[in-house]
Structure 1
């Protein structure tokens, strides 16, 4: 962990396109063979690659957690390996980025980006990891997940949805449907895309099937006894992933909560205004990628600034993997790494203490 540096992070984001252009030009001038691996349009491909990496670097610098950038570098390394792009291309590209930043950034900013870049280079020495399938076909829920995935990929969304609904009719709990079927399917989609086994169109097809199913699941079963608590659930600005947050919204409703689900990619001021307007007892913010963490900062600040209101804020999402106590430093009141944890934590944060 390093000292958070939001000024340098802002500088990186504001100048990302310029830094990316300079790094791409340096890379292809010094290593012209690299362009062939991304032809046609090698320069543009590398520029876009650098923009993404710079935003991830900014997230690590802003949070003071170098592991954020190292983790994304490991993910990129796996992606390169699956597409038969030489691993050395990534190492060379990081060196060129470091050289550009060394020449363009002032001394304090260079010091801030040094640790994440160094840790990322060390990750490359371990080589690409071998991430196995996200679905365990030996379990009941895993078998249903595989059947659901195959049907959806074949374009038979109705059969996929009916298979899951039958599992519920046979007694499967809603929590298991999400944690044992739908979320593993989404994770497997990500793994398959990264491995080059899936097209974007196929991923969208399955995700759209899951969105349809999630809407159906919100009306399954008897209405629960009202708990008298109200929660707002939202994905922060820039985050377009909403499967997990909509699933959590459904689980909260099944526990008797009234849920205001705003969906994904909601501006910080709009989230705060909605929380105030609806008078919620709890806010749940979701962040999927490291570059979304800065939006969490802004949203928490906007909520804490509401006059006459104190709304507990809980955070979660893949962006928090390996970030330690970052959620506390952001000003959140709690963090959950699973649906089960989140449901328990939500009650603890929202219900008044007896002490």
Structure 2
């Protein structure tokens, strides 16, 4: 990665507030009907959304991945529909990005932003694909639907009983995790994005699922051990921890010894833990695109330590599912699309390391 790319992202973030102000003002000049439609609060919200979009743009440039930015626009397009913000409004917003950035940045710096903005415009100019219910994709669709409906109705105890009944019937825990918990969480996220449930409901459902998962802990440790150790962490202030919690539990189910540390662990402390625990694999979760650089910095710090520089580093989360080659760009050894694939990739990489003394994906 060139220094120019890093400098471009920094140039945008250093001017974030000024850029957001100018872009919002220009959009309202081009679309004066927005003032009448949304009022003063609409102007404030537009500036806030523009600031977030600038963060995503800066990170996408930093990572040299226009796909990350265009995918974010697809996600934002769906999210904002519930607030009567149309695709045309987003399209005009990106046109304003182009005009303001062209004026604010020098020609060489702006050149790096061009493919990302053009990718976003192409995406917004195409027909929107509607994601159907994730519950229908589950191998246990009826049970996943019933579980999710119970959570949405606030009937946590009954949702727990449903899961424990499945356990008593001999349904494998891995199946429950992948077909019930995972698909339910995906669906809850979709319902929030499309405005069908509130943030409070989304948080309740996630917390309830974590509680139900905790009731399954005694069953996780009944598996024979493989002598392999995993440390799992979310980068920075990443708040979306439940996915990594599921991944960690699936590792336990497959005979790994795990050490889940969650979010907000300083890099130095994590490195010391990796040494003390003699971990074979470090799993890093990242949901927000603008946290990917933190993952890269963490991986670089791990690689620089001679005591653990050869540890297998596995990454996962939304940005890596969007750009399937992103894990290579930040120095990881591999990536897992979901919990099941993460275990498979980690097992393969540790086996390869044991045979050759190196771990290359």
Asked if these proteins are the same fold (TM beyond 0.5), I'd say: yes
Distance apart, 1:242 and its partner CA: 1.0
**2:125 equivalent to 1:130:** no
Separation (CA, whole Å) in 2 of partners of 1:174 and 1:86: 43
Deviates more, 1:314-323 or 1:111-120: 314-323
Cα distance between partner residues in 2 of 1:144 and 1:292? 34
Corresponding residue number in structure 2 for 1:259: 258
**1:353 and 2:351 equivalent?**
no
Q: What is residue 48 of structure 1 aligned with on the other side?
A: 48
Rounded to whole Å, the distance in 2 between the matches of 1:63 and 1:200 is: 30
Q: 2: CA distance between counterparts of 1:35 and 1:134?
A: 37
Cα displacement (A) at 1:333: 0.8
Cα distance, 1:140 vs structure 2: 6.0
Equivalent residue, structure 2, for 1:168: 167
Report if aligned partners of 1:240, 1:265 keep a CA contact under 8 Å in 2.
Answer: no
| Unaligned runs of at least 5 residues, structure 2 | 357-361
Establish whether residue 298 from structure 1 lines up as the match of residue 297 from structure 2. yes
Preserved CA contact (<8 Å) 1:153 1:206: yes
CA contact (8 A) 1:236 1:267 kept: no
Partner of 1:19: 19
Contact 2:250 2:340 in 1 (8 A): no
Q: What is residue 230 of structure 2 aligned with on the other side?
A: 231
The alpha-carbon deviation at position 322 of structure 1 amounts to 3.4
Please identify which structure carries the higher helix content: 2
State the distance in 2 between where 1:13 and 1:267 align: 23
Q: CA separation in 1, counterparts of 2:235 and 2:103? A: 33
After alignment, is 294-303 or 26-35 more displaced?
26-35
For residues 172-205 of structure 1, the C-alpha deviation after alignment (integer angstroms, 9 at most, x for no partner) is 1122112111111111112111221111111111
5+ unaligned residues in a row in structure 1: which ranges? none
Pick closer, same or farther for the CA change 1:288–1:123 going to 2, 3 Å. same
Q: 1:3 to 1:147 in 2, by over 3 A?
A: farther
Contact 1:60–1:116, Cα closer than 8 Å, also in 2 = yes
For residues 10 and 279 of structure 1, do their structure 2 counterparts lie closer, same or farther at Cα, with a shift above 3 Å needed?
Answer: farther
Q: Deviation at 1:80?
A: 2.8
Find the residue that maps to 1:135 and give its secondary structure: helix
Shift of 1:91: 0.9
- My pick for the range that moved more, 4-13 or 292-301, is 4-13
Shift of 1:221: 5.6
Structure 1 CA distance for aligned equivalents of residues 235 and 220 of structure 2? 30
Alignment map for 1:148-159 (pairs within 5 Å): 148-159=147-158
TM-score of the pair, normalised by structure 1: 0.93
Q: Separation in 2 of the partners of 1:40 and 1:220?
A: 54
Instruction: Please list every run of at least 4 consecutive aligned residues from structure 1 whose deviation after the TM superposition is greater than 6 angstroms.
Output: 1-4
Compare 310-319 and 220-229 and name the one that shifted more.
220-229
Does the aligned pair in 1 maintain the 2:280–2:312 contact within 8 Å?
Answer: yes
Distance 1:2 1:199 in 2: 42
Whether the 8 Å contact between 1:12 and 1:58 is mirrored in structure 2 is yes
State yes or no: 1:84 paired with 2:107. Answer: no
> d(CA) in 1 for partners of 2:37 and 2:144?
36
Q: Deviations over 1:219-253 (max 9, x none)?
A: 22652222222111011113211111001111111
Following the alignment from structure 1 to structure 2, what is the Cα–Cα distance between the partners of residues 156 and 110? 52
Query: 1:201–1:343: structure 2 CA closer, same or farther, 3 Å change rule?
Result: same
Asked if the contact 1:70/1:123 (under 8 Å) is kept, the reply is yes
| Alignment coverage as a number of residue pairs | 354
- Residues 1:327 and 2:327 are matched in the alignment: yes
Q: Given that residues 217 and 250 in structure 1 are in contact (C-alpha distance below 8 angstroms), is that contact kept between their aligned partners in structure 2?
A: no
